Amino acid sequence: MNIALVKLDKLKRLEKFYKKLFKIIRVVNRTYYIPDTDEKIKNKLILKLKSDGIDYAITEKGIDLDYPKLDGKHLLKCAIPEVLNYCFKLLNKNAELEEIYVLAENYTKENIKIIETLTEKVKVVNVVTTHLKQFQELEKRLERKDIYITVSSNKRKALKNAELIINLDCKNFNGFNVNKSSIIVNCNHEFSLNKDFEGVCIEKVNANIKKIMRIFSENENMNKEELFEAELLKTNEYDEARYILEKAKMQITGVVGKRGIINVGEFEKFSVGDGPLSKKFSI
């Protein structure tokens, strides 16, 4: 994945005039320096980014660029254990005593690693998938290591009592009988949720990265979370991304839904035991 940084070039008056006049864009190691935020210069930049095969652009504050931006999904996926701790803490629950449900359509190395990681964080991991045989092989392999998960393809029952659902790559809940007031951690940007859902759907996180990283000091006028996500995307290995995340001492400061920051008060409606979580809905 190709990610570029976009900055306003620091130029002297005459040099700025010249580069702005001729719309000169300077490129150094996937950092694109523009002389001005003039629309014509930005349009030229967009064409150059496309021709250079850039997938996403991270811009300095003050540069409004109509180009794909990182949506926080990869950071969310890498930080699932931290998200669980955040949610269970708000619910006054111990994550190690709780069970979660993981929606996984694709039998990928990354999904397998995520599931294996989660078995170390909670009491029970329930995998819900339409690819039953493949994930049952994972279930058997983990069982030989005395690690236990459950695997189900039953859409009517699998999520009926689920309180916390991790959606790795499912696009919708069609055919599922889902707990109407569950907490969903959605890692799929193509996912669409039923309008009468009354629970919490987490789309991304706000985070505090305590470790001083070079990429931050070199790009002080850029969004730290986007820069950090770009660092995680440099590796294709989930374990390595987790190592980078843990080493950075990242802490979740809040969670975000489609409508913006999810207020902590939204979690108050989830009671321990019988309560709002008993509501169900079918799609």
**What's the CATH code of the domain at 154?**
3.40.50
**Percent of the chain whose pLDDT exceeds 70:** 95
Indicate whether 168 and 278 sit together in one domain. yes
Mean pLDDT over each residue of the chain, to the nearest integer = 91
Q: 259 CB contacts (<8 Å, ≥6 apart)?
A: none
- Spatial separation of the C-alpha atoms in residues 258 and 184, rounded to whole Å: 12
pLDDT in tens, 10-37: 999 999 999 999 999 999 999 999 999 9
Indicate whether 276 and 187 sit together in one domain. yes
Pairing of strands 31-34, 3-8: parallel
DSSP state of 22: T
DSSP state of 222: S
Q: Of 59, 85, 105, which marks where a domain is finished?
A: 59
pTM score = 0.88
Indicate whether 50 and 83 sit together in one domain. no
Determine the pLDDT at residue 192. 87
Indicate whether 163 and 37 sit together in one domain. no
Q: Does some domain include residue 237?
A: no
Q: Residue 228 — very low, low, confident or very high, per pLDDT cuts 50/70/90?
A: very high
